[in-house]
Amino acid sequence: MLLSALISALNGAVAKILGDDMSALEIVFFRNLIGVAIILVMLRHTPPTLPGGKLHLLLLRGLFGFSAMILFFYTITVIPLGEAITLNKTSPLFVSVLAFFLMKEHLNRYGILALAIGFSGVLFITKPDGLTMGYAHFLGLLGGFFAACAYATIKTIRHIYDTRVIVLSFMGIGTLLPLLLFASAPFVEAPDALAFLFPRFVWPGAAKLWMLIALMAVISTLSQWLLTKAYSLSKAGIVGAVSYTNIPFAVGFGIMLGDAFPDLTVWTGIAMIVAAGLLVKKA
């Protein structure tokens, strides 16, 4: 899990570097395109055996996953890497909220305390002016919410769909939707707040960009494999706690790429969100 966390943070750093020459939507497109090819090869080698069904939930998982990814990669390009990854780590808090309201799951005192601490930590990181949160930080938080929606959907379909098919739904939609957005970009006058969803497609020409795209595809796959392996070898609570080490790793990579060193307020917010994530596991 420690290796997975390090590689996950490195993946974010590669995306941040690519963001200097490519739009977030292009990064998402190429990452998922390569991922689709890998999953299709795996499925051809070993076909799925689970029965399937509930196609609408499978597609919904893909839509939520794409939404979380585009917001995550966009925030990586506009705010410090450590802050972007920390905001994405609020997803367990949102999972608790969704489970309470949609699945009628009980929320004990640990869960309530975790939500209070975690969302207070968000305020420390985003430093809202009055009741107004910075737009980029809001999108980062929204990305955490969509990631939670994706996880909640997986919980519903994991017994009827092969894991690879679930991943394929996410990567397939993450390939097709960017194509639709690229195609519509010349005809859409998007407001500044949504302009990142309608960039003009530019084919990467430099060999350096293709090397970074390939590196991102490989290390993101490796990170997911290590994560899955970690959960199969040890207790989920221990592995989940170690997973939060990707935040200091991300801060370190961010500083290497030019981000400012986080001040005490941001570190306090990061600590609160980590503490809340650990508390949620007791809920």
Q: Is the pLDDT of residue 273 over 80?
A: yes
Q: Which spans in the chain are helix H?
A: 2-18, 24-45, 55-78, 81-88, 91-102, 109-126, 135-157, 163-184, 207-233, 236-243, 246-256, 264-280
In whole angstroms, how far apart are CA 119 and each of 78, 95, 126, 225? Answer: 21, 13, 11, 30
> Average of pLDDT values for 212-231?
82
> Average of pLDDT values for 152-165?
84
Residues 259 and 118 sit within 8 Å (Cβ to Cβ): no
User: How far is it, in rounded angstroms, from Cα 264 to Cα 124?
Assistant: 9
To the nearest whole number, what is the mean pLDDT of the chain?
88
Residue 253: pLDDT band (50, 70, 90) is: very high
Residue 232: pLDDT band (50, 70, 90) is: low
> Average of pLDDT values for 211-240?
78
> Average of pLDDT values for 113-120?
90
pLDDT at position 157, please? Answer: 85
In whole angstroms, how far apart are CA 94 and each of 64, 80, 112? Answer: 13, 22, 12
Domains identified in the chain, total number: 1
Q: Minimal CA–CA distance to 35: which of 225, 181, 232, 172?
A: 172
Q: Is the pLDDT of residue 107 over 80?
A: no
Residues 276 and 124 sit within 8 Å (Cβ to Cβ): no
Q: Is the pLDDT of residue 131 over 60?
A: no
Per-residue model confidence as pLDDT tens digits over 169-192:
888 999 999 999 999 999 999 999
Q: Minimal CA–CA distance to 79: which of 283, 278, 269?
A: 269
pLDDT at position 218, please? Answer: 83
Range of the domain at 115: 2-280
> Average of pLDDT values for 25-54?
88
Residue 237: pLDDT band (50, 70, 90) is: low
In whole angstroms, how far apart are CA 271 and each of 85, 211, 224, 263, 281? Answer: 13, 35, 24, 12, 16
In whole angstroms, how far apart are CA 182 and each of 29, 63, 131, 199, 223? Answer: 10, 17, 34, 7, 29
